[in-house]
A and B are shown apart, each in its own frame.
Chain A
Amino acid sequence: MKKLDRHQIAARVARDIPDGAYVNLGIGLPTLVANHIPKDREIILHSENGILGLGPKPAAGTEDEDLIDAGKAPATILAGGSYFHHADSFGMIRGGHIDICVLGAFQVAANGDIANWHTGEPDAIPAVGGAMDLAAGAKQVFVTMEHLTKKGESKIVERCSYPLTGVRCVTRVYTDLAVIDVKPDGLHLVEICAEGLSFDELQKLNGVPLKYRAAA
């Protein structure tokens, strides 16, 4: 079996982002999605620190300390972009104006619950940022993650064991093995991405029963 690497997962997510979408990309793997958006699509990236129309990384020597992205890295703004304050920025998120957000996760449950902010360990310093707002507010919540933990356990689970970020909010999961839709009646396999992986093998690895019907 040949699993997808991080860039391939990002490229697979990018395929599903339609022209004209307002999109928020989380830190880490989700950020890579921006590198794979087809040239013929105009997609407006939202950065929660106050940008619509986030552009690519600036060329060396042209960074401006007043222009950064949500990961606090130097950024640029596209023609047509805008700046706004934090309450407006999260109003866009909470108010359902962001079409898609892409988040990383520790676990996703069959009912769409997501856990991605805290391991729950008592000495771990908690930090949540905008993850709970995005989970609650974006019209569609896409999750990217490796399908299995280092120990080989499925990160798609019946019920999250880590502290929750949001309830019943994930709409689609992209892993190094498969793309899976979260629907009211359970998990639907959209496609198997890992080369040489059969449905039965995927079903064995996945923590929760999968319905074998491609999404429309």
Chain B
Amino acid sequence: MSDVPPFEPVAPATTASLGGRLADGEWHRLHPASPLLKGGIALIAILGVVIANLRERIIDIFVPRYGYDGDPVDFVVNNGLLGWTLLAIVVVLLALIAGFYFSWRMHTFRITNEVVEVRSGILFRTNRKARLDRIQGINIVRPMFARLFGAAKLEISQAGQDANVQLSYLGSSAADDLRREILRLASGTHETASPQRVAAGAAGETVIERRVHEFLAPELDVDAAAPQSIVKLHLGRLIGSLVLSNNTLILVILAIVAVVWVVVTGEFFVLFFALPMVIGFGSFYVRRFTKSLRYSIAGTPDGIRVGFGLLSTSNETLPPGRIHSVQVSQPLLWRGPGWWEIKVNRASHSSTKGAGGEENTTILPVGDRTDVRRVLELILPELLAPSAGVSEYGPAQDEFRDDAAAHDHGRDVPGNGDRSDRSEALRAIESGLEAKGSSDDGFTNSPRRAAVLRWFSWRRNGFAITPGSLVLRKGSIWRQLVIVPQPRLQSVSLHQGPLLRMLRLAEVHLHTVSGPISASLGAIDRDDAVKFFDDVAHVAVSAAQSDTSHRWRAGEQPA
């Protein structure tokens, strides 16, 4: 019992104001406007509703027009209880405000070299500690209302259900500073803390000017490397991608069915279902559209940053090695313009919805081949890693490990990559996307007899082991390519049922953390499958052992 953490701060906690270092191991409080931003809106709304309702009555007191029947507000007015009611409302509101104030007082956090620790609660105290080297991502969310106040919500994602640490709210620039500091501490780099950055904007700026500046700037963290987005998502392409999405296909089919039905039967009652459907589809399009506006993706020394949102913005940094599998896919109608979508599997489940109103798993909502290539280069640097002995695991394995380790330390991979290997890995990806499939395209494809099960796609249904990754290619109508980074692979399995056995085929599953992608490949030649299973089992072990991404910059020399 002696190690129960002290529940009251020993030293007085300081308030997380603009500026001031937050990651110094001391206890800090959140932004003073937090209670207002978290629940204050509701209070204001209640007050507003009460006043709006009473206003009619107040007018009625002076201009009585009609009788009151059964309305509680009427009762109050009739019996002269207006004063008491208002008093009760004010008391309740005051109590709530006091509650919010105390919960703000008691809500403190600190960041040390090892953990993030948060204490909160008035009567029921909670104390949450999260290890820095297990951080899966740091998200900064700025809801529109909070943005007006210059506040932001910082969410530190951890693996597991309901395991995230939320700091809501912090000052906008303080949140950016804090994220950079946490990432620096978590990365294990020897670089010392950068001197406190001069507050954004000139000293002469007024508060209002600063707010306007913050509101218009897409990205406050000006000193992080390469803040430029590598992908530009044009408005036209975004609208086009929505118009041509799979949902539109379903909508068109439903509309045709409805029209045919009406024409054939002469009954119009089908149209009653049209309204809810239009609302459903409409809200999908609107949500997806607003969420994907101002999308940006960029590389920083501490991982990839993905941002989006017009009024409420969200902007998340994923440190290296936090992406468990990647899927590049193409809905049927996107084939004409040549667009693709990229999704990922992640260990954490963010409470904030991402692009498309889904979990934060869509890394690229829509992009062409160049965009896909750029994003893949960013999120899977190991694709470009130099390699040795990828096809022979026996004697070359140690060499392979060393190389993988060396690569993991150096983030400036493209510079030291071997040309031929790079082109090999990239060629695999390129041919994975669109190629019809042939015997010499770097993939081991299904044999002809698999055409019984894969009518159109048997030629391109295949797998490849590239340096650092495992690539599965499937689908001829709905094309997709699944890439699993080798150090993230949890296990691998090989399946065969009676039907596959008759055809001398087998199925391989690559297990990663759960998400929208399931990396499995069916109907491949059984001998190929057994060899793939063996090879994958080997690389999974060696890649996991040489992986250092939990402290991704630990190998760097102090500058």
Binding partners A and B: no
B-side interface residues toward A, CB under 8 Å?
none
